[in-house]
Amino acid sequence: MLTKKAKYALRALVVLAQDHDRALRAREVATRARVPEKFLEAILVTLRQAGFVDSRRGLLGGHALARPADRIAVGDIIRAIDGPLAPLRCASVTAYQPCADCPDPERCALRGLMADVREAISQVLDHQSLQQLAQRAQVLEAELA
């Protein structure tokens, strides 16, 4: 399940992608993304450390994408915030841990099923760019206007 932190991170990055020609202050991002400003500030630190956001202080400062939105996969953002996409650690590619109560991970039907779930999630999220998500958001916003 997507955490609130990951959902807010995605919303904030969509705002930055939609307004990619200038740096935005945290307050403006928070308002437009409908995210509590204090929570957003912590999220922006994580996003900066993960290489998705550049931040500058000062009069002309603010936050902007560190690279083009079409080169940022939604799956990578979620992994940076929430960790592996797998519903169980034993099904994770990057953070595998066997279940303590599993007698044989290689013959575990549940692990196989959760690996399939992980693969399906990954296929969608890793092939959806932040640019595509921002465009989808823009279309939906226009329909409501």
Ordered alpha helix ranges (H), the chain: 4-18, 26-33, 37-49, 74-82, 109-125, 130-144
pLDDT at 67: 96
pLDDT at 102: 87
Which domains are delineated in the chain? 1-72+130-145 (1.10.10.10), 84-128 (no CATH)
pLDDT at 29: 97
Q: What is the mean pLDDT of each run of 10 residues along the chain (145 residues)?
A: 95 96 94 96 97 89 95 97 91 88 89 94 97 94 79
Pairing of strands 62-65, 53-56: antiparallel
